[in-house]
Amino acid sequence: MTGTTGSPLGAPAERREGRQKLTGAARYAAEYTLPGRAQAWPVPAAVAHGRVRAVDTSAALALPGVLAVLTPFDAPRLAEPEDRTLAVLQNPHVPHRGWCVALAVADTLETARAAARAVRVTYDTSPHDAGPVDGHPGGYDPEEAGGQPGRVEHGDPDAAFASAEVRVDVVYRVPPLHNHPMEPHASTAHWDGDRLTVYTSSQGGTAVRSVLAQLFRLPEERITVVAEHVGGGFGSKGTPRPDVVLAALAARHTGRPVTLAYPRRDLPAVVGHRAPTVQRLRLGARPDGRLTAVLHEVTTQTSRVREFVEYAGVVSRVMYATPNLRSTHHVVPLDVPSPSWMRAPGEAPGMYALESALDELADALGLDPVELRVRNEPEREPASGKPFSSRHVVECLREGARRFGWAGRDPRPGVRREGPLLLGTGVAAATYPVQTAPSTATAEARPDGTFVVRLNAADIGTGARTVLAQIAADALGVPLDRVRTEVGHTDLPPAPLAGGSMGTASWGWAVHEACARLAAHPEQGPVVRADTTGTADADSPYARHAFGAHFAEVAVDTVTGEIRVRRLLGIFAAGRILNARTARSQFTGAMIMGLGMALTEHSTLDRAFGDFPESDLASYHVPVHADVPAVEADWIDEHDPHLNPMGSKGIGEIGIVGTAAALGNAVHHATGIRFRELPLTPDRILAGLLSEG
Amino acid sequence: MSSASRPGHHSEVTLRVNGKPHTLRVDHRRVLLDLLREDLDLTGSKKGCDHGQCGACTVLVDGRRLNSCLLLAVTLDGSEVTTVEGLGGDGDEPHPLQRAFLDRDAFQCGYCTPGQLCSAVGMLAEAAAGHLSHVTDPAAPAEGPVPLDRREIRERMSANLCRCGAYPRIVEAIEDVI
């Protein structure tokens, strides 16, 4: 473990790019106003399945200022991508509504938009299948779910459940959810001969470059990818999305720099979403609360473009001790937009279901839900048998309970009234895996006594520049203000994406190594390069996860059905916290996204149309200021020597993981009613209150 | 003949942006947001939805906070526009609210931030002028400034979305300058 009291590590350092963001000087991908830049506007498919028969571009091309309309019949040809969502304008097949079928390019935004609307596309439509997934004959059990086996089973879960003295058998549902980062997906592309430069809104520019190199059959050295400031991603910018491919195609076709800033309403169909899940949870327990069987069976859906499995079942392999376990996934491919990563994919919906079911079990047992979790604390990771590198979920629960005032809670539901309001409190645990990927970085000692750390990390709002400088200063043994960081450009040493809560750990490992070597061996300078291949990705004998506990208090209005959150508290055990200020913001921010998942965010996969009616921010309700009361996050000191040189775990996602279950459990405590489908909107609450009341 | 090629498709407007006069010939379809970003290269005002649903494009027009994505530029002849780039005035010193946002870590990705800042400046002026909100106590005096507690601030700032969830810190930053 490095660093001591007074070290730059852990200090609440201010964001280094803060002033730029606060004065409007920070430029995002669509804001590189290159000379002669044109604007592109996509034409989304208006059918759910079929083929483009023809694209009539004559009216569009007749508009003054229109440069081109790219169609599946004449767009430049790309190599076959591994991710087929990027094979845009390459053939006339329409795999789902919203798929890009043409791209208008014009001098101005207004003309590009008018041109896109003037394009006439005719289709040969085919019947489409947009579910439902329940009982769908086309489903299968995938080999893998989130890089793990699709199915894990130990013991005899069916028999153990059947013979359990106390049983819970419930189904929880999570609807499709949209990432909706505030900056829509955007790219500006510019060709100079056979050199391509793109400014793109991405969580990982290194991967953008390698994908573009493969698609456009170029050596990577001829491609520059810049992602200096990124307006959020939450998984939806984790890999290149169609905007960067389309912008590069349009720029090549027109010979002009081209910006494509995707219209907000088109995003849900083309950038990925959290796939809906139907999760059956069967929990069997002894009267003392010890689990004897956990069966977590997930049914979800994917597109026919590519397989993505929302791996909600994996959490049951981590959380609780049980001799009999089944965790399975079943996925149905449909003619619908492709799902992808959304903040804590797998863990967020999975823990919503598991932690809600556990609350039901606590009820059935007459046991306090904190105590039930403590009683089922495993000694080793249930599915793998590996020891945990560190696991302090019980400490999080205990500390959270103390801070929240949980002791003495009356467990009876539906008894706390305040006028027309019913009040309740709830708890849920959280988990998120520790992941790291190899990275490179350089550290340079400059003659003036300052240092520069360089790597192609992405700052999507996490404060990467700041925390990497802290890691560097700590390893160099110098004050923080003597270290500068450069990120967000492919001229810098390659680095993995900001995703899977692994950015800081992965980048920081390489930064630490380069700086530690430079400090120990200045003669190797002035520039020392580190590459953590083989170490950051080495197998560990330990099960490594962050843990947490969420506590929530709600007021349910029995007249309107509205739920108001009064308090949210999250306590986390995530290794060493490297920047107290930015870490707190990530924890509370993710909890607020969890609040949205629980209460406001609702998308529907419309079966008749095969896409999402709630595709804009007026119909898809992300939480607003008025929805968000006192939200607090804190952490316990956790020292884990089995991680990276900083001793840190990822913190970007765990904050969302337990929030929805804690809120749902609080709603049950308030009302006495179990609502098992998110979100908990007033219509559902009112219907529940009326039918129970 | 298409609308774009019809005569009378453009008009000349003069407006002041952050204290500087600009005379431009604008496409009648051009909204203030695109005028700022495309014509004046003032890209601090952000395009989050282009439909008045997110607030990222909020600027001050003649002192009032408005969604610049919903304002046709041609209607703004003679207007005084303040964007995030102009909040600090002429000097190098940031507006106190910008300083408070930095102190409170009231932003993450930064994309909604210019809108939050402009909206907050406009909101503070509204409250000072006695404008009521949905949550203002009906029994409060009808005249004079409305005191801003957290509930009032949250209510009045609710047209500015933040997907990173910086809301609690934004409210604290606004409280710091009241």
Domain count along chain A: 3
Domain around A618 = 145-176+274-434+541-692
**Alpha carbons A85 and A211: distance in angstroms, whole number:** 12
Residue A10, in any domain of the structure: no
Residue A557, in any domain of the structure: yes
Q: What percent of chain A has pLDDT over 70?
A: 99
Q: In this predicted structure, what is the pLDDT of residue B141?
A: 81
Out of A22, A59, A114, closest to residue B94 by CB = A22
Q: Touching check for B96 and chain A: CB below 8 Å?
A: no
pLDDT, tens only, A132-187: 998 999 999 999 999 999 999 999 999 999 999 999 999 999 999 999 999 999 99
pLDDT, tens only, B130-158: 999 999 998 888 789 999 999 999 999 99
Which residues of chain A does B102 touch, with a Cβ-Cβ cutoff of 8 Å? Answer: 14-15, 18-19, 22
**Alpha carbons A492 and A503: distance in angstroms, whole number:** 16
Alpha-carbon distance B48 to nearest alpha carbon in chain A (angstroms): 5
Alpha-carbon distance A199 to nearest alpha carbon in chain B (angstroms): 15
B6: confidence class by pLDDT, cuts 50, 70, 90: low
pLDDT, tens only, B32-57: 999 999 999 999 999 999 999 999 99
- Flag if B105 and A461 touch (Cβ within 8 Å): no
The enclosing domain of A502 has a CATH number of 3.30.365.10
Query: Contact B49/B31 with Cβ under 8 angstroms?
Result: no
CA distances to A109, A142, A148, A297, A360 from A282, in Å: 54, 21, 21, 9, 11
Residue A1, in any domain of the structure: no
Quick one: closest CA in B to A182, which residue? B48
**Chain centroid to CA A374:** 28
Query: Contact A454/A464 with Cβ under 8 angstroms?
Result: no
Q: Both A252 and A398 in a single domain?
A: no
Q: Both A171 and A287 in a single domain?
A: yes
**Alpha carbons B140 and B129: distance in angstroms, whole number:** 14
Q: In this predicted structure, what is the pLDDT of residue B3?
A: 44
Q: Both A453 and A592 in a single domain?
A: no
Alpha-carbon distance A657 to nearest alpha carbon in chain B (angstroms): 15
Q: What is the DSSP letter of A140?
A: B
Q: Both A289 and A393 in a single domain?
A: yes
Which residues of chain B does A112 touch, with a Cβ-Cβ cutoff of 8 Å? Answer: none
The answer for residues whose C-beta is within 8 angstroms of residue B126's C-beta and 6 or more apart is B65, B156
pLDDT, tens only, A254-293: 999 999 999 999 999 999 999 999 999 999 999 999 999 9
| End residue of a domain, out of A501, A531, A561 | A531
| Residue B22 host element (H or E) | strand B20-27
Out of B94, B105, B111, closest to residue A182 by CB = B111
Q: Both A393 and A327 in a single domain?
A: yes
A606: confidence class by pLDDT, cuts 50, 70, 90: very high
Which residues of chain B does A616 touch, with a Cβ-Cβ cutoff of 8 Å? Answer: 49, 51, 53
**Chain centroid to CA B87:** 10
Q: Both A368 and A486 in a single domain?
A: no
Active-site residue among A183, A221, A653, A692? A653
The CA dihedral of A615, A619, A620, A622, to the nearest 10 degrees, is 140
Could you give phi then psi for residue A566, rounded to 5 degrees? -100, -40
**Alpha carbons A605 and A613: distance in angstroms, whole number:** 7
Q: Both A427 and A454 in a single domain?
A: no
Residue A300, in any domain of the structure: yes
User: Looking at the DSSP assignment, which residues form a beta bridge with residue B14?
Assistant: B23
B1: confidence class by pLDDT, cuts 50, 70, 90: very low
Q: In this predicted structure, what is the pLDDT of residue B91?
A: 75
Q: Both A324 and A444 in a single domain?
A: no
pLDDT, tens only, A183-232: 999 999 999 999 999 999 999 999 999 999 999 999 999 999 999 999 99
**Alpha carbons B167 and B116: distance in angstroms, whole number:** 10
B90: confidence class by pLDDT, cuts 50, 70, 90: confident
**Alpha carbons A394 and A54: distance in angstroms, whole number:** 62
- Flag if B48 and A24 touch (Cβ within 8 Å): no
pLDDT, tens only, A50-103: 999 999 999 999 999 999 999 999 999 999 999 999 999 999 999 999 999 999
Which residues of chain B does A110 touch, with a Cβ-Cβ cutoff of 8 Å? Answer: 27, 29-30, 34
pLDDT, tens only, A358-409: 999 999 999 999 999 999 999 999 999 999 999 999 999 999 999 999 999 9
Q: What is the DSSP letter of A338?
A: P
Kindly provide the ipTM of the predicted complex, given to two decimals: 0.97
Out of A22, A26, A28, closest to residue B101 by CB = A22
- Please compute the mean of the pLDDT values over residues A6-23 and round it to a whole number: 94
Q: Both A371 and A406 in a single domain?
A: yes
Residue A618, in any domain of the structure: yes
Q: Both A602 and A522 in a single domain?
A: no
Which residues of chain A does B114 touch, with a Cβ-Cβ cutoff of 8 Å? Answer: 24
Q: Touching check for B50 and chain A: CB below 8 Å?
A: yes
A80 carries an active-site annotation: no
Strands (E), A523-642: 527-531, 545-557, 563-573, 630-635
Query: Contact A204/A211 with Cβ under 8 angstroms?
Result: no
* pLDDT over threshold 60, residue A614: yes
Residue A132, in any domain of the structure: no
- Flag if A110 and B30 touch (Cβ within 8 Å): yes
Alpha-carbon distance B121 to nearest alpha carbon in chain A (angstroms): 13
| End residue of a domain, out of A261, A286, A317 | A261
Q: In this predicted structure, what is the pLDDT of residue B4?
A: 47
Q: Both A407 and A358 in a single domain?
A: yes
**Which residue ranges form the domains of chain B, and what is each CATH number?**
3-84 (3.10.20.30), 96-177 (1.10.150.120)
Query: Contact A680/A598 with Cβ under 8 angstroms?
Result: yes
Residue A674, in any domain of the structure: yes
Q: What is the DSSP string of B92-121?
A: SSPPHHHHHHHHHT--SS-SSHHHHHHHHH
For the record, the structure tokens of A444 come out as 């340079």
Query: Contact B115/B46 with Cβ under 8 angstroms?
Result: yes
Q: Touching check for B44 and chain A: CB below 8 Å?
A: yes
SS3 A95: coil
A357: confidence class by pLDDT, cuts 50, 70, 90: very high
| End residue of a domain, out of A531, A565, A591 | A531
Residue A365, in any domain of the structure: yes
* pLDDT over threshold 50, residue A349: yes
Alpha-carbon distance A352 to nearest alpha carbon in chain B (angstroms): 20
Which residues of chain A does B24 touch, with a Cβ-Cβ cutoff of 8 Å? Answer: none
The residue count of chain B comes to: 178
Predicted TM-score (pTM) of the model is 0.97
Out of A111, A586, A617, closest to residue B54 by CB = A617
The CA dihedral of A670, A671, A676, A681, to the nearest 10 degrees, is -90
* pLDDT over threshold 90, residue A660: yes
For the record, the structure tokens of A354 come out as 């598991």
B89: confidence class by pLDDT, cuts 50, 70, 90: confident
Mean pLDDT of chain A: 97
Q: CB burial class (10 A; 0-12, 13-18, 19+) of residue B41? A: exposed
Q: Both A307 and A418 in a single domain?
A: yes
- Flag if A23 and B94 touch (Cβ within 8 Å): yes
Q: What is the DSSP letter of A81?
A: P
